[in-house]
A = this chain, B = another copy of it.
Amino acid sequence: MAIRPADQIIHKAAWLYYTHGMRQDQVAQQLNISRASVAMYLRKARETGIVNISTSTQLFTDDVLAREIEDAYGLDAVWIAPHGDLVDQAAEVPVLASSVFLELVKKGDRIGVAWGQTVYAIADVMAYADLQDVTVVQLCGNLGAPFAYRPDQCTMEIARRLNAKGLNFYAPLVLSTEALAEELRNEPVIREQLAGISDCDLALYSIGTVDGESHVVKCGALTSAEMDALRRAGAAGVVAGQIIDAKGALLDCSYNRRCISADLDSLRAISKRLVVVQEPNKFEPLLAGLAGGLCTHLVISADMARRLLDQARAASRRKAS
């Protein structure tokens, strides 16, 4: 909490340079150090979030397509990463998402974070910030897979970037029997963490696919064959490690009952639910999530936006006829 004495000089340099608009040589003179050091301190200030530089994401919400999707799906806000006229579209989604995320966070917030490649990609490009009274909580249990994008890593990395407190979940995501999962959920430590999820101000997650490429399969929570069976039983997407059906409801299956993760109602109790979808093959999972009311704020690519809108129009035509 307290500033380390060594960092004091960084704060001073940043204040004089950015707030007072002094030049680096003036700052150097004022602090009796070389200009090169000032340049270095300023870089550190930016890197650690002592100085925050953020760009409005209005460019990406202010768009007819985005408005139409907001209306069609009843969302609070939609951001669309445009086609390659700027930069690579797919890569743009996490960058945009991390800006949007930082725009939505405010001091004192409690933030729920799920996991997966998309979430980790967002964490990875996220700017550092100085949000010491923010708490980042993990939305579901862990798994031991050697992937950077596993639940605890996602939570930790985001907490680190924000200089926030990270609250990890010390339980496995999935257990071998339903009874054990139930028992564990009733353990005070775990119960408390699960209960705290609905107190979050903001949640961040993506929606997973239900095929062999799904992160739950890659991490070994389910075999590819089991996933195929679940898909035949109506699985449409994955949210915080749990399987949902096309209506966005929790699929009634043993796997879900063996999971320790955020209750969907708890997620819906969070006022800002930021869903980010990067891969083009996540169309159906995303529809499921939208149907289930799991999303209030959405970041997607232009292609995906197009498909969502077409879908909504087709649906309303069907209803009209």
CA distance A58 to B99 in the complex (A): 23
CA distance A12 to B87 in the complex (A): 11
A52 touches B53 (CB 8 A): yes
Could you give, for residues 9-32 of chain A, a 1 whenever the CB lies within 8 Å of some chain B CB and a 0 otherwise?
Answer: 001101110111000000000100
Could you give, for residues 35-51 of chain A, a 1 whenever the CB lies within 8 Å of some chain B CB and a 0 otherwise?
Answer: 00000000001000111
A62 touches B3 (CB 8 A): yes
CA distance A14 to B54 in the complex (A): 9
CA distance A62 to B3 in the complex (A): 7
A3-B58 in contact given A52-B52, A53-B53 (Cβ < 8 Å): yes
CA distance A84 to B57 in the complex (A): 39
B55 touches A15 (CB 8 A): yes
In the complex, A56 has a CB within 8 A of chain B: yes
Could you give, for residues 48-86 of chain A, a 1 whenever the CB lies within 8 Å of some chain B CB and a 0 otherwise?
Answer: 011111111011001000000000000000000000001
Closest to A2 in B: B62
CA distance A58 to B131 in the complex (A): 11
Closest to A57 in B: B15
A223: chain B residues at CB < 8 Å are: none
A59 touches B19 (CB 8 A): no
B106 touches A19 (CB 8 A): no
CA distance A1 to B20 in the complex (A): 30
A53 touches B130 (CB 8 A): no
B51 touches A55 (CB 8 A): yes
A11: chain B residues at CB < 8 Å are: 55-56, 58-59
In the complex, A222 has a CB within 8 A of chain B: no
A58 touches B16 (CB 8 A): no
